[in-house]
């Protein structure tokens, strides 16, 4: 990962590079930001920069042996720690050996991905993932080993918020007094839930969300067409990961999902709606909000259509759907549905239970559609 592969955030990149140039690289740094933003890519680009054999004033070279191995996460001096299923001491090596290749693939495929994306890749949807006591023993082991190649030794800890307190406490001492040239890069999406003993021992690197323009341009560079890129960037709340999802298969998936959902409400298919609310609750906060925002966007377009204007729709399929949907419901029902979804979104933002919120929303929509 190079800095140039991360859209925008120039100020932060400059700061990180400048700390290196001034010889002020803090030994324990906490990269913090919201899920779906560039937190992990930034930490990886930073590690590549520090270890690159051929860096310039702005970036790592991307091709030297260190850059190449960091890209694949196979550098012997980069030790990975991330949430996984817990295992008894005698099973730990096996769990680790199975999880690491998966994690490498996950980072290669979706460096902006969040915990849900990792859970799906890992194939452990029904388990609680954590950074366990055994992981912290492994960290202590990593720290006691010499750097294989004589340069930096990096412990990358992805999602320290999922460390249980005893494993967090086990690493406090090494966070405080690391051996020379040992770096801890912690990558967190939930700063507020971290133990104060961790935050007080690390230097905070705040990774902000990207701007609308940065995300739109990034998607266009990746080959997404302009109108789709704008649409995804608008819904993404500054999260590249979410924007990529919306712009890719997520878009047509979300679209089909919405039609199916409305059909279930129309037919009062309670079994389907209960299942839907369960799937919804498992999909993760960003996706939940993303799918409701998507629904709001569609209904807004349908309202515009119902009032006799032309909505700013994206594709022929959407224009046709919005047209039909709008004619079927009419202005008043559309407005009521719109208000209900908006309200559900506000509840979600206040941390209501996603399953109950979604089911209640469906029941309310049934009333509107069949009223």
Rounded distance, CA 222 to CA 210, Å? 16
Binding residue for Zn ion, selected from 2, 29, 32, 60, defined by CB under 5 A = 60
Instruction: Verify binding: residue 61, Zn ion, rule CB under 5 A.
Output: yes
- Per CB under 5 A, the segment of 45-53, 123-131, 233-241, 287-295 that binds Zn ion is 45-53
Binding residue for Zn ion, selected from 16, 30, 42, 52, defined by CB under 5 A = 52
**Residue with Cβ nearer Zn ion (71 or 276):** 71
- Per CB under 5 A, the segment of 44-52, 197-205, 324-332, 346-354 that binds Zn ion is 44-52
Rounded distance, CA 134 to CA 236, Å? 36
Instruction: Verify binding: residue 64, Zn ion, rule CB under 5 A.
Output: yes
- Per CB under 5 A, the segment of 38-46, 62-70, 206-214, 350-358 that binds Zn ion is 62-70
Rounded distance, CA 121 to CA 106, Å? 6
**Residue with Cβ nearer Zn ion (152 or 338):** 152
Helices 249-266 and 240-247 meet at what angle, rounded to 10?
70
Rounded distance, CA 6 to CA 131, Å? 27
Instruction: Verify binding: residue 68, Zn ion, rule CB under 5 A.
Output: no
C-beta of 240: minimal distance to Zn ion in Å?
23
C-beta of 49: minimal distance to Zn ion in Å?
8
**DSSP alpha helices (H): ranges in the chain?**
10-21, 39-51, 65-71, 92-109, 115-122, 133-144, 165-170, 172-176, 196-199, 212-221, 226-235, 240-247, 249-266, 270-282, 285-306, 316-349, 354-370
C-beta of 143: minimal distance to Zn ion in Å?
25
**Residue with Cβ nearer Zn ion (54 or 309):** 54
- Per CB under 5 A, the segment of 50-58, 125-133, 307-315, 316-324 that binds Zn ion is 50-58
Rounded distance, CA 232 to CA 98, Å? 34
184, 157 in Cβ contact below 8 A? yes
Positions in the binding site for Zn ion (CB under 5 A): 52, 54, 60-61, 64, 67
């Amino acid at each position: 990962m190079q800095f140039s592969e991360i859209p925008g955030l120039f100020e932060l990149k400059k700061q990180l590079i400048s700390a290196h140039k001034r010889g002020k690289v803090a030994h324990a740094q906490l990269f913090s930001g919201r899920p779906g933003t560039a937190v992990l890519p930034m930490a990886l680009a930073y590690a590549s920069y520090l270890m690159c054999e051929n860096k310039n004033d702005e970036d790592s070279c991307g091709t030297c042996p260190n850059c190449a191995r960091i890209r694949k996460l196979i550098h012997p001096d980069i030790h990975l720690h991330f949430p996984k299923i817990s295992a008894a001491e005698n099973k730990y090596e096996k769990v680790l050996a199975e999880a690491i290749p998966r994690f490498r693939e996950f980072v290669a495929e979706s460096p902006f991905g969040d915990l849900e994306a990792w859970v799906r890749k890992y194939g452990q949807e029904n388990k609680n993932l954590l950074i366990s006591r055994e992981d912290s023993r492994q960290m202590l082991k990593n720290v006691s080993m010499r750097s294989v190649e004589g340069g930096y030794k990096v412990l990358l800890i992805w999602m320290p918020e999922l460390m249980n307190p005893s494993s967090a406490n086990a690493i406090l001492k090494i966070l405080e007094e690391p051996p020379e040239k040992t770096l801890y890069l912690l990558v967190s999406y939930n700063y507020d839930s971290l133990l104060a003993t961790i935050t007080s021992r690390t230097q905070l690197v705040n990774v902000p969300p990207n701007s609308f323009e940065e995300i739109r341009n990034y998607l266009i560079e990746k080959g997404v067409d302009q109108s789709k890129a704008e649409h995804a960037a608008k819904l993404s709340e500054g999260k590249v990961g979410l924007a990529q999802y919306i712009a890719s298969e997520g878009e047509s998936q979300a679209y089909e999902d919405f039609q199916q959902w409305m059909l279930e409400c129309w037919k009062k298919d309670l079994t389907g709606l209960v299942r839907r609310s369960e799937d919804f609750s498992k999909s993760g906060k960003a996706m939940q909000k993303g799918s409701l925002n998507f629904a709001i966007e569609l209904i807004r377009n349908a309202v515009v259509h119902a009032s006799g204007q032309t909505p700013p729709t994206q594709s022929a399929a959407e224009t046709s759907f919005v047209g039909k949907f709008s004619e079927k419901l009419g202005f008043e029902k559309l407005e009521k549905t719109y208000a209900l979804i908006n309200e559900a979104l506000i509840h979600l933002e206040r941390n209501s239970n996603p399953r109950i919120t979604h089911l209640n929303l469906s029941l309310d929509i049934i009333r509107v559609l069949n009223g």
